[in-house]
Chain A
Amino acid sequence: MLQPWNKNGLTVAERLQAEGISRRGFLKFCATTASMMALSPSMVPAIARALENAKRPSVIWLSFQECTGCTESLTRSHSPNLETLILEQVSLDYHHTLQVASGEAAEEAREAAMKENNGRYLVVVDGSIPVDNGGVYSTIAGITNLEMLRETAEGAAAIIAVGTCAAFGGIGYAKPNPTGAMPVSAIISDKPVINVSGCPPIPTVISGVLAHFLTFDKLPEVDDLGRPITFFGQSIHDRCYRRPFYDRGLFAESFDDEGAKKGWCLYRLGCKGPATYNACATTKWNEGTSFPIEAGHPCLGCSEPDFWDMGGFYQPLSTPTGDVTRTLVYGVVAGALIGAAAGSMARTRKIKAQKEHYKVTTDDLEESS
């Protein structure tokens, strides 16, 4: 539910107290918030001190060229209380899918929030931004996504790019990228932008970054791709409970062989875990029940840039991941014999790989991990 901008200026601790929640409840809130932010439990006292003074920030959520999966991920979380608490601690002033207002009234709400909280509000973006032909491929209330992003970002304190589309372009950016889709960071360079990638992102990670901003009034530390290190600091492979099988050279070779039934490593079935950084292996999905690898499916690498164009979800990392068809075409057009020969080789490997599961040696695995 959308909250009106909180004009009474209560801090988070005061709001909880006003709702009849005890200090013990506040401690529980802090402990679960620390866990959600993937911070050490030793940070709980610091979080409690910060939340005692934290006030509700205004949040403007912009949905551009997207599928609404990111919003679904957050709102259909199986731990609604925690997410609800976080959302109640922010003033969500604009969100196409969740707000009651529509048309001009909706745009007025966005403009009012921008004006009242100039320099202090948080912008959340999901979806890529089409820029070809002036950005005409996606508009809201007659305003292009490109124009709306630039206009809204101007007075923002920070921007959270939620989902792989907003963070890295995602499916819109995938070849042939007909709309000229771009990520937020390619358009906005004068504001702090944090990328919460994933298709969709883990709901707790979205809440965790919001909670971090709410608690400490700044965005968390990020990696070289602008993602919060606390959630994206380690690869899926490094945190995978199947890692011991990898270390012992025990791999599933197909989805129904003995290795698959015994839960062995899915590397040879195309798992992108070694090249993918996210918190799935520890935070997990569906109320912490499991994550794709635990359900028997390789990681697709959905939180990484260009994951749609990585050459096939079921192709092991050690085999070529480029677009072999395109390589062949380029070779022929250029009339280069070497290019044609390479394309021909790649085509042969592609056909071979399609006919049988591509086998790799342990040495290959070690080299590529």
Chain B
Amino acid sequence: MNPAMDDSIEIEPTPCAKDRGNDLPVLNEILHALNELLTHDRQTVIDIKSLPFGPVDEERLSIALGQGEVAATIHTLGESRVTETAYAGIWWVEHRNEQGAVIAKFIEVTYMPDILKAQHEDVIVARQKLKDALETIKLNGA
């Protein structure tokens, strides 16, 4: 039998809890980041790809942080999802490419991730576009 097909083989998760889980240091780092946000108004971004996670570490971290009140989807260069965790100020920001593959994933500790805000340059373009749209409407007599 091909060992890859043998579902009796179970990979033991990285030693965790009282031992040395790879998600626990990240949770401590996030707690430290929350302190920084509250005391110095300093935001923190953690690149998940830079962490030495095993097969279940990210899942365990995701369960530990839970689901919050906000979930937003951005459609540019593929889809991006911004979701607040059960802890206010702690966000998941996941960027996907146009094929749907995850290309970057961050935990942001901030009041609002920058990517959610309308960008100044886009607002300038928007003003012109709306002006043009209004001119068109006037010309058409609508």
Contacts and interface: CB of A to CB of B under 8 A. Distances in A.
Interface in A21-56: 21-25, 27-29, 31-32, 34-36, 38, 40-42, 44
B57 A24 contact: no
Contacts of B101: 78-79, 81, 287
A72 to B, nearest CB: 18
A80 B11 CA distance: 31
Interface stretch (A2-10, A221-229, A238-246): A238-246
A15 to B, nearest CB: 13
B68 interface: no
A118 to B, nearest CB: 34
A25 B104 CA distance: 14
A282 B78 CA distance: 23
B14 A24 contact: no
Contacts of B99: 79-81
Given A22-B76, A81-B97, A261-B9, A282 B103 contact: no
A281 B52 contact: yes
Contacts of A264: 12
DSSP majority for the B interface?
Answer: loop
Contacts of A34: 47
A263 interface: yes
Given A28-B80, A32-B104, A244-B20, A262 B120 contact: no
A282 B98 contact: no
Contacts of A27: 114-115, 119
B126 to A, nearest CB: 10
B97 A79 contact: yes
Contacts of A22: 76, 119, 122
Interface in A231-280: 239-245, 247-248, 256, 261-264
A135 B10 CA distance: 52
Nearest to B74: A24
A294 B119 CA distance: 40
Interface residues of B, number: 44
Interface residues of A, number: 46
Interface string B73-100: 0101110100000000000010101110
B121 to A, nearest CB: 4
A31 B119 contact: no
B138 interface: no
Contacts of A44: 45
B51 A32 contact: no
Given A42-B45, A241-B53, A294-B54, A32 B11 contact: no
Interface string A275-318: 00000011110011010001000000000000000000000000
Contact of B47 (A25, A35, A290): A35
A121 to B, nearest CB: 28
A284 B50 CA distance: 10
A244 B25 CA distance: 13
B119 A24 contact: yes
B19 interface: yes
A117 B12 CA distance: 55
Interface string B22-35: 10000000000000
B40 interface: no
A20 to B, nearest CB: 10
B95 A28 contact: yes
A101 interface: no
Nearest to A234: B52
B112 to A, nearest CB: 13
Nearest to B19: A244
A244 B10 contact: no
Nearest to A34: B47
B11 A262 contact: yes
Contacts of B115: 24, 27-28, 31
B15 interface: yes
B106 A41 contact: yes
B102 interface: yes
A15 B128 CA distance: 20
B20 A247 contact: yes
B119 A282 contact: no
Given A242-B14, A282-B49, A282-B50, A32 B103 contact: yes
8 contacts: A28-B115, A36-B104, A81-B97, A241-B22, A244-B20, A261-B9, A284-B49, A294-B55
The 10 closest A-B pairs by CB, nearest first: A241-B54, A81-B97, A41-B45, A25-B76, A23-B119, A262-B12, A23-B121, A35-B104, A239-B52, A263-B11
Interface of A: 21-25, 27-29, 31-32, 34-36, 38, 40-42, 44, 78-82, 85, 239-245, 247-248, 256, 261-264, 281-284, 287-288, 290, 294
